[in-house]
Amino acid sequence: MELKEKIANDFATRFGGEGNFYASAGRINLIGEHTDYNGGFVFPGAIDKMIMAEIRPNGCDTVRVRSIDIDDYTEFGLNEEDAPQQSWARYIFGVCREIIKRGGTLKGFDAVFAGNVPLGAGLSSSAALESCFAFALNDLFNDNSIDRFELARIGQSTEHNYCGVNCGIMDQFASVFGKKDHLMRLDCRSGEFEYFPFRPEGYTLVLVDSVVKHELADSPYNRRRESCERVAGRLGVETLRDATMEMLDAARADISDEDYRRARYVIGEKQRVLDVCDALVAGDYETVGERMYQTHRGLSEDYEVSCEELDFLNGLARECGVTGSRIMGGGFGGCTINLVKNELLEKFTGEARRQFCERYGHEPKIHEVIISDGARKL
Ligand code: ADP
Ligand code: MG
């Protein structure tokens, strides 16, 4: 059954009648990894996997929500400060609290929601959920007076304050601003962004989720950040955003080999994002793919955040003739994002399933995605 129909039936059964429909999307990031905390660029887009909700004001001061996918239900009062127990409900509770905190209007409502963004696969189902409700509550109770960037921040603060996830702004940003056939280059320093056309005719974007997550004893993420800060300090710039390869090479004697390689990755990645933007404007998807492979290599060899499974998937992509492939996300597991010529699609996904399973004992999860609209009213 179609998502909308499923939700409508459920809503009618539980609450009677009907409400308004809203949706928001998961996201990919084509290129620009480990750049956010270096003041650099990320390059995400919303995808055709979404969270959809039917919502109707209920005239009282209670929020009543049902999750079809989790098959669960919760209620909370508008003035309640204790978050619900269920983790899925905390995202909605958090969005409500964050709207109130900002002086926005909120009234009681009934809602039913469901989605098809794979959970925990690196496609940001949580941002889709937050931005779907933030967008809807802005439309229903605030005449859309909360601007879109603030809607993204409401989602981000929800993660920080109610879900224990200390994330950046990219996921919620992509979910809120996503536009069909466009990726967005977000400048993490200024918050400015620009849309770029993404119409890869003859190619498909494929996520290959290794379903592994290596938990490391020390905190590699913090150590990467420290390396970047150390080199920036040594070069006399605020962040590596302002550093060039020439500056780095000139200071090489005073920088440890490890720090040098970390900074080389970050500085290279800034340029690769810019190259990809130019390539997209020119419709040159082969160059886009090359940069993706270069990013993977940098993440693996210089930044050292890859792992055996991801390097294996990347190597396999290359062997199959895939145009571009790289780790998507922080690394140490999760998925690769691949730009695949349509005629190679079956071969690549078949080989990825077979060979990965042979080697690691389980199949990867494969998701084809299309760049689509983000938060919206249906
Ligand atoms: P992701 O990388 O997909 O964002 P997270 O762990 O951050 O992974 O978020 C996943 C959580 O978001 C789920 O555990 C659940 O609480 C909530 N969620 C996402 N999609 C749905 C859905 N369709 N229905 C209910 N809850 C959902
Ligand atoms: Mg998430």
For ligand 1, the distance from its centroid to the CA atom of residue 369, given in whole angstroms, is 18
Q: Considering only CA atoms, which of 263, 234, 223, 275 is closest in space to residue 41?
A: 275
H, E, C per residue of the chain:
CCHHHHHHHHHHHHCCCCCEEEEEEEEEECCCCCCHHHCCEECEEEEEEEEEEEEEECCCCEEEEEECCCCEEEEEECCCCCCCCCHHHHHHHHHHHHHHHCCCCCCCEEEEEEECCCCCCCCCHHHHHHHHHHHHHHHHHCCCCCCHHHHHHHHHHHHHHHCCCCCCCHHHHHHHHCECCEEEEEECCCCCEEEEECCCCCEEEEEEEEEEECCCCCCHHHHHHHHHHHHHHHHCCCCHHHCCHHHHHHCHHHCCHHHHHHHHHHHHHHHHHHHHHHHHHCCCHHHHHHHHHHHHHHHHHHCCCCCHHHHHHHHHHHHCCCCEEEEECCCCEEEEEEEEEHHHHHHHHHHHHHHHHHHHCCCCEEEEECECCCCEEC
Answer yes or no: is the C-beta of 120 below 6 A from any ligand 1 atom. Answer: yes
State the pLDDT at residue 146.
Answer: 98
- Span 150-186, pLDDT tens digits: 999 999 999 999 999 988 899 999 999 999 999 999 9
Instruction: Beginning with the edge strand found earlier in the chain, give each strand of the sheet holding 333-341 in spatial order.
Output: 324-328, 333-341, 203-213, 365-369
Is 267 found in the same domain as 235?
yes
- Span 79-129, pLDDT tens digits: 998 999 999 999 999 999 999 999 999 999 999 999 999 998 999 999 999
Does residue 24 surpass a pLDDT of 70? yes
Does residue 199 surpass a pLDDT of 80? yes
- Span 255-278, pLDDT tens digits: 999 999 999 999 999 999 999 999
State the pLDDT at residue 224.
Answer: 94
Could you list which residues have their CB under 5 Å from ion ligand 2? Answer: 126
Is 172 found in the same domain as 240?
no
Average pLDDT over residues 187-211: 97
Tokens describing residue 241: 């955003």
Is 58 found in the same domain as 88?
yes
Catalytic residues: 171
State the pLDDT at residue 221.
Answer: 87
For 114, the domain range is 3-197
Which amino acid residue places its CA nearest to atom 15 of ligand 1? 88
pTM of the prediction?
0.96
State the pLDDT at residue 17.
Answer: 97
Q: What is the CATH number of the domain that holds 303?
A: 3.30.70.890
Does residue 293 surpass a pLDDT of 80? yes
Answer yes or no: is the C-beta of 175 below 6 A from any ligand 1 atom. Answer: no
Is 224 found in the same domain as 154?
no
User: Which is more confident, 61 or 167?
Assistant: 61
State the pLDDT at residue 219.
Answer: 81
For ligand 2, the distance from its centroid to the CA atom of residue 20, given in whole angstroms, is 25
For ligand 1, the distance from its centroid to the CA atom of residue 67, given in whole angstroms, is 11
State the pLDDT at residue 33.
Answer: 96
Answer yes or no: is the C-beta of 125 below 6 A from any ligand 1 atom. Answer: yes
The structural domain count of the chain equals 2
- The pLDDT confidence band at residue 353, using thresholds 50, 70 and 90, is very high
> Quick one: which atom of ligand 1 is closest to the CA of 122?
2
Which amino acid residue places its CA nearest to atom 14 of ligand 1? 88
In percent, the amount of the chain with pLDDT more than 90 equals: 96
- The pLDDT confidence band at residue 134, using thresholds 50, 70 and 90, is very high
Average pLDDT over residues 293-306: 98
Among 197, 231, 259, residue at a domain's last position = 197
Average pLDDT over residues 354-365: 97
Is 172 found in the same domain as 212?
no
Is 212 found in the same domain as 192?
no
Answer yes or no: is the C-beta of 52 below 6 A from any ligand 1 atom. Answer: no
State the pLDDT at residue 216.
Answer: 74
Does residue 217 surpass a pLDDT of 70? no
For ligand 2, the distance from its centroid to the CA atom of residue 318, given in whole angstroms, is 29
